Chains A and B, each alone.
Chain A
Amino acid sequence: MVKAPLKDKTGLLLDIRNLRIEATSYPPGEPPRNIIIVDDVSVKLERGKVLGLIGESGAGKSTIGLSSMGYGRGGVRITGGEVLLNGRDILKGGAKILRQIRGREVCYVAQSAAAAFNPARKLMDQVIEAALLHKICTKAEAEKRAVGLFKKLGLPNPETFGQRFPHQVSGGQLQRAMTAMALCSEPDLIVFDEPTTALDVTTQIDVLASIKDAIRDTNVAALYITHDLAVVAQVADDILVLRHGKQVEYGDTQQIIKAPRQAYTKQLVSVHHIPHEQKSPADKPILSVRNITAAYGGGLVKVLKNVSVDIHLGQTLAVVGESGSGKSTLARVITGLLPPMEGAITFEGRTLSARLANRTRDDLRELQMIYQMADTAMNPRQTVGTIIGRPLEFYFGMGGKERDKRVAELLEKMEMGKNFAGCYPAELSGGQKQRVCIARALAAKPKLIICDEVTSALDPLVADGILKLLLNLQKDENVAYLFITHDLATVKSISDSIAVMYRGEVVRYGPKSDVLKPPFDDYTDLLLSSVPEMELGWLETAMKTRRMASAGN
């Protein structure tokens, strides 16, 4: 069966006019309130073009993206404006027209492919489902088409790839499988909702490149939603910057990244440029990790192999690597949660006991940890005052007014008011939660804080604020950081020395200036070249010049 009406390859495909989206919130004890999520946003998209929607969490970018398929997530209502797709207003047609366009004219690629695939069905069945449902082609044709797409997207063994279940492929492959699923019914428009945000930098570049190729070859139009301006600069023709549901700036990619007009866009473009003077190492390290080998499952799976690093007082060691490189395991070994098989850790000249249970209270106090997910790192049933006050009670025996005063001081340091002490974590924003976690760590007056991906769950501007705060605290309190991250931009802005980890081994280690100076080893080169830069055509150059393929290929 041929695709029904033959459409011309140019012309207007999607025309969103004065879109207004509202939702009702039900605060307990108060009358229900109307909140406006998207206010008066207009978008035009031509066939074969890519529009990037960019903004921080809550900017309404996903909501706008989904409105192109007439869908409101979680009870939001499209209350104003028109969404014209292929010349007809899809908001007016009711369920019938929505059934026609979804999966046929518009397809959706979700942020977390792992959560979006049905774990109980094979990939092929899910990839061709929409094509079969809309009777676009027969099962055999759809499967042939899917195999072709797997090949185009650079998936391994395209012939048999579809026979696997979602858990049998890696995160980057799953994201590409989802792109294949969206492309399978040959839609006119695909909505990409942060397709690479959950991936490693090295995987992100592969997925990005294959998405870009697929868009070019199939002449499909796309809405590309992300919070990373550098990423969207690689794929989009035009960019729409959003904030609080309102349009901030709309222009072509070149103009937005090179000559932003609005203050907010300028902020987004200049993010990640924190000046940081590298400190030279002192004579004696405060923490010294010597020849650590650690494994899970009673020695079966070795995750750390002969790792040695030093951290100096008042300085930052950044541990970089992709998922599975063993960087979080290193933190677990240092904190004593995972006793190593071999090797020793010295802290302030004394050997730390391998097991958490055998450490003295002072050892515990001087070595604090901040987690990636501030949400789960705080007891949701305790107030901020209790969360920050507990280390004060526990380590220093403070109580009553004295403790409350110190909690207020710490909150002050976090650039938060002392009124927050009575709040529960659920009442705070993402950045505030992470600040409370930092205050909790700081309350113990530590010598070393392990920061495990503390900014990777945050919006760029918020993350920026947290990094600046951490640097200021380092200056004031002379505390050392072990900073675990996969984001090299972060590393450049805060570290004094760097350890690059790959498959459980430290492949490159030294002061920042040495590590970031060529010549590079292959892996460091891959890592460095994978960080998206805000340059047009960066993606092509990076793909051409890199020396080794990333994991999962």
Chain B
Amino acid sequence: MLNVKNIPISAWIGLLVTAVFVFAAVFAPWVAPYPVGETVGDVWEPMSAKYLLGTDNLGRDLLSRMIFGARITIFIAATATALSFILGSVLGFAAAVIGGWFDQLMSRFVDLIMAIPTLIFALVVLSVLPANIMTLILVMGLLDATRVYRLARAVAVDINVMDFVEAAKLRGEGRIWIIFREILPNALTPLIAELGLRFIFAVLFLSALSFLGLGVQPPDADWGGMVKENKEGIVFGIPAALIPAAAIAVLAISVNLVADWILNRTTSLKGGRG
């Protein structure tokens, strides 16, 4: 099925970079040269053989913090995105298939949530609830699910009126089969395109929250939080804030390269055989 030779060069780059990030995230305690919270040197030391990326505003090793930051950032963003996609697409498909009052109820509720700016909504909720990773994931996932819901419902409404869905209904198939076997495979293409984007939005959203002080709490830090910690350094020409920012950008691009490639493969109606 998967022919290694057919993977385009852009997908290779995306896969490779993403794999490096994921590897660093998973094996952080073994890969990182120093513990995450330990002050090892002077404040904002330049890059050297001892501190590959220099040190941060408290004299902690920036590389080690980047590696542990990758762990937190990718974990939260990935779980939140997964949550939003599972919830959003299943409910969106269900609304399209069931229709009637269920569709009305769900869609109006989603409209209601979307009427409130996401960042403000999240800030309010997070300032009330205990600040831990679990709440972060839930809040981010649920808020993002509204976007996925709208996309999934719009796509599924179109598919639901196709003859093959009618044929399945005439056969007497239940809603579970219709949602997961008839609609989902045909809705996958736009959903995967959205998935790549949504994951990056989740990283940025998390960074924004951390930057505002409501995301990951110290001494842990995600990349957004690290930008915040080191932002004063920019005035003095110290690049410590730019490194996590660049990491966010590189992750964004590489994940989307992979998503594009998967997209190309799922668009084929001939099972990728030509």
**A residues at B contact (CB < 8 Å):** 27-30, 335-337, 356, 359, 361, 364-365, 368-369, 371, 373, 376-383, 390-391, 394, 424-427, 440, 444
Q: Mark B158-194, 1 if CB is under 8 A from A, else 0.
A: 0000111011011111000000011001100000000
**B185 lies within 8 A of A335 (CB):** no
Closest to A452 in B: B163
A-B contact pairs, 28 of them (CB 8 A): A28-B268, A28-B274, A29-B273, A356-B169, A359-B172, A361-B172, A364-B171, A364-B172, A369-B170, A371-B163, A371-B167, A373-B163, A376-B164, A377-B167, A378-B164, A379-B164, A379-B182, A379-B186, A380-B269, A381-B185, A381-B269, A382-B181, A383-B271, A424-B269, A424-B270, A426-B269, A426-B270, A444-B171
Measured between beta carbons, the chain B residues less than 8 angstroms from A440 are 167
Q: Mark B231-274, 1 if CB is under 8 A from A, else 0.
A: 00000000000000000000000000000000000001111111
Closest to B166 in A: A337
Closest to B161 in A: A376
Measured between beta carbons, the chain A residues less than 8 angstroms from B269 are 380-381, 424-426
Q: Taking each of B3, B6, B182, B274, which has the highest tally of chain A beta carbons within 10 Å of its own beta carbon?
A: B274
B170 to chain A: closest CB distance in Å?
A: 6
Q: A28-B274, A394-B171, A426-B269 are in contact. List 7 more A-B contacts (CB 8 A).
A: A28-B272, A29-B3, A30-B274, A336-B170, A337-B166, A376-B162, A380-B186
Name the 6 nearest CB pairs between A and B, nearest first: A381-B185, A426-B269, A27-B274, A377-B163, A28-B274, A364-B172
Interface members, chain B 52-73 (any A CB < 8 Å): none
A352 to chain B: closest CB distance in Å?
A: 13
Given that A369-B170, A394-B173 are known contacts, is A381 also in contact with B186, CB under 8 Å in the complex?
yes
**A335 lies within 8 A of B167 (CB):** no
**A369 lies within 8 A of B167 (CB):** yes
Measured between beta carbons, the chain A residues less than 8 angstroms from B185 are 379, 381-382
B93 to chain A: closest CB distance in Å?
A: 15
Closest to A425 in B: B269
Which of B3, B166, B171, B268 meets A390, CB within 8 Å? B171
Measured between beta carbons, the chain A residues less than 8 angstroms from B167 are 369, 371, 377, 440
**B163 lies within 8 A of A376 (CB):** yes
B28 to chain A: closest CB distance in Å?
A: 39
| Cα A11 to Cα B66 with chains together (Å) | 83
A290 to chain B: closest CB distance in Å?
A: 22
Measured between beta carbons, the chain A residues less than 8 angstroms from B274 are 27-30
Measured between beta carbons, the chain A residues less than 8 angstroms from B273 are 28-29, 427
**B182 lies within 8 A of A394 (CB):** no
Measured between beta carbons, the chain B residues less than 8 angstroms from A391 are 171
A365 to chain B: closest CB distance in Å?
A: 8
Closest to A391 in B: B171
B75 to chain A: closest CB distance in Å?
A: 32
A380 to chain B: closest CB distance in Å?
A: 5
Q: Taking each of A28, A30, A365, which has the highest tally of chain B beta carbons within 10 Å of its own beta carbon?
A: A28
Interface members, chain B 1-22 (any A CB < 8 Å): 3, 6
Q: Taking each of B185, B272, B273, which has the highest tally of chain A beta carbons within 10 Å of its own beta carbon?
A: B273
Q: Taking each of B166, B171, B268, which has the highest tally of chain A beta carbons within 10 Å of its own beta carbon?
A: B171
| Cα A372 to Cα B271 with chains together (Å) | 25
| Cα A129 to Cα B185 with chains together (Å) | 45
**B270 lies within 8 A of A427 (CB):** yes
Measured between beta carbons, the chain A residues less than 8 angstroms from B182 are 379
B192 to chain A: closest CB distance in Å?
A: 13
Measured between beta carbons, the chain B residues less than 8 angstroms from A383 are 271
Closest to B268 in A: A28
| Cα A352 to Cα B268 with chains together (Å) | 41
A439 to chain B: closest CB distance in Å?
A: 13
| Cα A361 to Cα B172 with chains together (Å) | 7
| Cα A364 to Cα B163 with chains together (Å) | 16
Measured between beta carbons, the chain A residues less than 8 angstroms from B169 are 337, 356
Which of B3, B171, B181, B271 meets A424, CB within 8 Å? B271
A383 to chain B: closest CB distance in Å?
A: 7
Closest to B6 in A: A29
| Cα A376 to Cα B173 with chains together (Å) | 18
| Cα A213 to Cα B170 with chains together (Å) | 48
| Cα A383 to Cα B1 with chains together (Å) | 14
Measured between beta carbons, the chain A residues less than 8 angstroms from B272 are 28
Closest to B266 in A: A381
Measured between beta carbons, the chain B residues less than 8 angstroms from A377 are 163-164, 167
Q: Taking each of A27, A379, A426, which has the highest tally of chain B beta carbons within 10 Å of its own beta carbon?
A: A379
| Cα A368 to Cα B272 with chains together (Å) | 32
Interface members, chain B 143-170 (any A CB < 8 Å): 162-164, 166-167, 169-170
B39 to chain A: closest CB distance in Å?
A: 55
| Cα A444 to Cα B173 with chains together (Å) | 13
Measured between beta carbons, the chain A residues less than 8 angstroms from B162 are 376
Measured between beta carbons, the chain B residues less than 8 angstroms from A365 are 172
A172 to chain B: closest CB distance in Å?
A: 26
B37 to chain A: closest CB distance in Å?
A: 49
| Cα A268 to Cα B138 with chains together (Å) | 67
Closest to B183 in A: A379
**A335 lies within 8 A of B3 (CB):** no
| Cα A371 to Cα B163 with chains together (Å) | 8
| Cα A424 to Cα B185 with chains together (Å) | 13
Measured between beta carbons, the chain B residues less than 8 angstroms from A364 are 170-172
| Cα A140 to Cα B162 with chains together (Å) | 47
Measured between beta carbons, the chain A residues less than 8 angstroms from B164 are 376-379
| Cα A440 to Cα B168 with chains together (Å) | 11
Measured between beta carbons, the chain A residues less than 8 angstroms from B163 are 371, 373, 376-377
| Cα A491 to Cα B202 with chains together (Å) | 61
Which of A29, A337, A424, A425 meets B170, CB within 8 Å? A337
| Cα A358 to Cα B76 with chains together (Å) | 46
| Cα A377 to Cα B165 with chains together (Å) | 8
| Cα A379 to Cα B185 with chains together (Å) | 9
| Cα A364 to Cα B269 with chains together (Å) | 29
A430 to chain B: closest CB distance in Å?
A: 15
Measured between beta carbons, the chain B residues less than 8 angstroms from A371 are 163, 167
**A356 lies within 8 A of B186 (CB):** no
Measured between beta carbons, the chain B residues less than 8 angstroms from A335 are 170
Closest to B188 in A: A381
Closest to A394 in B: B171
Measured between beta carbons, the chain B residues less than 8 angstroms from A30 are 274
Measured between beta carbons, the chain B residues less than 8 angstroms from A359 are 172
Measured between beta carbons, the chain A residues less than 8 angstroms from B270 are 424, 426-427
| Cα A381 to Cα B189 with chains together (Å) | 11
